[in-house]
Amino acid sequence: MLEMIKAIMTNELKVMFTAALPIIEIKGAIPLGLSLGMNPWHALLISLLGSIIPVPFILFGIRPVLNALKRSSFFQRITDHIEMKTINKSHRIQKYGVWGLFLFVAIPLPGTGVWTGSLAAVLLDIRFKWAFPAILFGNLMAGIIIFSLSNGIIALFRF
């Protein structure tokens, strides 16, 4: 079974799946694509596609999931913790609105990105028509930053 999964998983799917994962996102997917021997531009494109896939699901689906989890005393503490952690990180989003959301997603630091930005957009009640483009272009900017850093670092080691 494991061999069959390995055979199916092309490099593109590996990079796309990695980009769609929380925490890792595009920050890990582009270097992964480069390490797998992909063309840098191809790795950037596949990473961008993979990292934006979860955004509509989070923007439309996380509120009902959080509300359902809050009904359980066990999950209520976890969801409250996640909400408080996200709100605490989103003070710039609160201050600057959609531009703050763009910047939050665009700066590729730990704890920022499309997952946290999407959750913050939901918790701050930013409408989809404003949140999605801000997250999309913020993700593009983060991808360009990571792309530039990855190619610069790789170029240093080529003799």
Burial status of residue 127 (CB atoms within 10 A of its CB: 0-12, 13-18, 19 or more): exposed
| pLDDT confidence of residue 154 | 54
Show me where the domains of the chain are located: 2-156
**Listed residue (76, 3, 5, 15) closest to 48, CA to CA:** 15
Structure tokens at 117: 């930005």
What is the per-residue pLDDT for 76? 87
Shortest CA distance to 123 belongs to which of 150, 157, 154, 94? 94
Rg of the chain, C-alpha, whole Å? 17
pLDDT of residue 6: 66
pLDDT of residue 152: 73
Looking at residue 92, its pLDDT comes to 76
Rounded Cα distance between 31 and 102, Å, is: 22
Residue 61 to residue 142: CA distance in whole angstroms? 24
Residues 123, 41: Cα–Cα separation, whole Å? 34
What is the reported pLDDT for 52?
A: 96
Mean pLDDT per 10-residue interval, the chain, length 159 residues: 68 93 92 91 94 95 88 85 81 85 92 90 92 96 92 59
pLDDT at 77: 86
The amino acid present at 91, given as its one-letter code, is H
User: Residue type at 109?
Assistant: L
CA dist., res. 73 & res. 149, Å (int): 44
Give the pLDDT of residue 127: 93
Q: Distance (Å, rounded) from C-alpha 119 to C-alpha 65? A: 12
Contacts of 39 (CB under 8 A, 6+ apart): none
